Amino acid sequence: MPVGTHAAVRAQRREDLLDSGVQVLLANTYHLLLRPGLEIFEKFAGIHGFMNWPRSVLTDSGGFQIFSLPGSRTMREEGAEFRSYVDRQTVHLSPERSIAAQKSIGADIMMVLDQCVPSTVDHSAAKAAMDLTHRWARRCLTARGDGAQALFGIVQGASYPDLRRESARVISDMPFDGFAIGGLAVGETAAEREECTGIVTESLPQDRPRYLMGVGTTRDLLEAVHRGVDMFDCILPTALAKQGVAFTSLGRRDLRRAAYRGVDAPIDPNCTCHTCTTYSIAYLWHLQRVHETQGWQLLGLHNIHFYQELMRRMRGHILAGTWLDFYRAQRDVLDARDSYGPAVTHVTRAQRRKLALRRGRYEVVARDGVGHIRDMRSGEIMHPVDDPQEEARSLYVGPARLAERLQADESVPLVIWDVGLGAAANAMATILVAEGLARAPAVAAARALRPLSLLSFENDLDSLLLALQQIDLFPYLRHAAPHLLAVEHRWAARAAGIEWRLLPGDFRASKFAAPPPDIIYFDPFSFKTDSDLWSLSAFRELAQVCATSATELFTYTYSTSVRAAMLAAGFYVAKGSATGPKAETTIALSPRAAAGPHGRELLGEEWLAKWRRSDARVPFGADPEDPSWQEAISGHPQFHTRA
Ligand SMILES: [Zn+2]
């Protein structure tokens, strides 16, 4: 429920709210009681007539505002007394008066008057407030009578599990139409809030709506839905929009950051809202910068749309039985950058800048405006060259003769395995070549290109997500494909015949589920970081998968023990071209690829002689004493073609 405290959602038009699929608005009894006053609602036949809102309205009872707004107030058994912030008059709000007001406002869902206390109060104060809330709940039910408007009870009990359990039991024994969890989002930690939510939802009836009041971020919603909550209200989508913050499928984006200046992409590439389909980040960044109201309005519209869409997607996954997969996949993605709350106040600006450049085990290192991904555990930098796109072309895309092979007259897709997606440098270089070909008039006129099936293998998406967050440093990612791949694990350009899929998880397991490759870009971190992928047994498995296809594998290393592992596994091994700082690289060919006219420069007797003398002659992970790999290399047919 978007929050329309004063019978309006801040800076939003009703048409946009209706378009985004909003079903219920939240309005506030306390504020509406003071302004415009109940007589206005009586004149307009309630809030629906007054604001011309055709869908449902839920009204908060005023309990939370009495607790949270400054000024004098007294709580008695009878009700609460407080000074109006409008005209300083004393206002009395009892359970009966609150229900009468909500009836006049014409809410479809009314809330009981409750007593909120800070999450830090001691047990006896929390219990007193809870007991009073229970007595008021009964009075609200009586005051509601048999009217048609629904009435929800509210569970209180601060952060005390025993009180929360007791309150859930007492309130759910009363004949309410739905049940709310109140008194959260008032200073407790996210973990406390989640624990508390779980305790309460366990005790609530399954067949009535559960409503977590005043919560929260997109991640809070995910966690609460996981614990059985159905409804939420929160001002964050509109309040943070005013500050320039958007919730997106890639996490939270803060348009106050200079990094977004001039970025020509929608704020959420996966969103279909008016803002995302009409304006670039650059424009929204500018509006924010000049304090233009439209910036607030457009970001708020997106945020509300995103929240509604998130709820629809969560509902869809629950109904489809795929909730757990969705929940696990989204936990670290939703609201990825930060969370509201006090945790970051002691972090200095410089530290915050540094933190924004880190994610999981990776960090971004910027050199002369070019971003590189560094594995913080091993210290290794992916593509440490000046231009990762240039390296992708000279080491993988070029030598693989991608352009030539895509122009072959074939209808079977060319299958490329991109092992070690990283920040998608190789994959994007491939897609850009394929798209360029599809656009070239000569090609387009002649005939369709061979379809391309690009499969990226990655066990940790953090490097891509990090690069997408720092997109200024990774300009080749300014394309819909990597954004969609990160979220949906798939992107396709049907007209150009390109399909890109992500196979998450461990390559050693996931490769068995993939179609056999024509080309492999073998670009994981080195054996220092990803030792398991470079071992003799890993290459033996790979040889088995490529046994019946003509596969060429390209990799950046020319290490003797890697080449030994490839040869011992049954690959033919050729010299790859020099690139950047590397004098040589390596190409491995499956026996079928080697049997054809491949034009590669296979390693010869000279290499074999060097290998025999080398300290690095043992393939990674092989038993040095095992004769089988030594015989396989010495007797490899590539060294005995003339015999
Ligand atoms: Zn949007």
Average pLDDT over all residues of the chain: 89
Task: Give CA–CA dist 496/500, Å, rounded.
Answer: 12
Residue 300 Cα to ligand 1 middle (Å)? 9
Residue 574 Cα to ligand 1 middle (Å)? 49
Residue 197 Cα to ligand 1 middle (Å)? 29
- Which pLDDT score, from 0 to 100, does residue 170 have? 97
For the full predicted model, state whether its pTM sits above 0.75: no
Residue 460 Cα to ligand 1 middle (Å)? 27
- Which pLDDT score, from 0 to 100, does residue 318 have? 94
Asked if the model's pLDDT at residue 338 lies above 60, the reply is no
Query: 85, 92, 93, 17: which is closest to 51 by C-alpha?
Result: 17
pLDDT digit string (tens) for 562-614? 999 999 999 999 999 887 777 899 999 999 999 999 999 999 999 999 999 98
Instruction: List Cα–Cα distances, 325 to 18, 245, 322, 330, 431, in angstroms.
Output: 30, 27, 6, 9, 28
Task: Give CA–CA dist 284/295, Å, rounded.
Answer: 6
Q: Is 607 helix (H, G, I), strand (E, B) or coil?
A: helix
Task: Give CA–CA dist 378/293, Å, rounded.
Answer: 47
Q: How confident is the model at residue 643 (pLDDT cuts 50, 70, 90)?
A: very low
Residue 325 Cα to ligand 1 middle (Å)? 24
Using the Cα atoms of residue 83, residue 85, residue 86 and residue 87 in order, give the sign of their dihedral.
positive
pLDDT digit string (tens) for 42-73? 999 999 999 999 999 999 998 888 877 666 67
Instruction: State what percent of residues in the chain have pLDDT above 90.
Output: 63
Residue 127 Cα to ligand 1 middle (Å)? 44
Give the list of residues 6+ apart from residue 280 with CB closer than 8 angstroms, or none: 263, 264, 265, 266
Q: Which residue numbers are catalytic?
A: 60, 233
Task: Give CA–CA dist 387/326, Å, rounded.
Answer: 36
Single-letter code of the amino acid located at 86: V
Residue 285 Cα to ligand 1 middle (Å)? 14
- DSSP notation for 134-156: HHHHHHHHHHHTT-SSEEEEEE-
pLDDT digit string (tens) for 144-155? 999 899 999 999
- Which pLDDT score, from 0 to 100, does residue 87 have? 81
pLDDT digit string (tens) for 348-367? 556 556 656 788 888 888 88
The runs of H, that is alpha helices, within 94-148 are: 95-105, 123-144
pLDDT digit string (tens) for 66-118? 877 666 678 889 998 888 777 878 888 999 999 999 999 999 999 999 998 88
Q: How confident is the model at residue 342 (pLDDT cuts 50, 70, 90)?
A: very low
Asked if the model's pLDDT at residue 541 lies above 80, the reply is yes
Residue 544 Cα to ligand 1 middle (Å)? 46
Q: How confident is the model at residue 498 (pLDDT cuts 50, 70, 90)?
A: very high
Task: Give me the mean pLDDT over the 157-169 stretch.
Answer: 94
Asked if the model's pLDDT at residue 439 lies above 80, the reply is yes
Residue 178 Cα to ligand 1 middle (Å)? 31
Residues with CB under 5 A from ligand 1 (ion): 268, 271, 273, 275-276, 302
Contact (CB, 8 A) for 490 and 502: yes
3-state helix, strand, coil in the chain (%, to 5): 45, 15, 40
- Which pLDDT score, from 0 to 100, does residue 94 have? 94
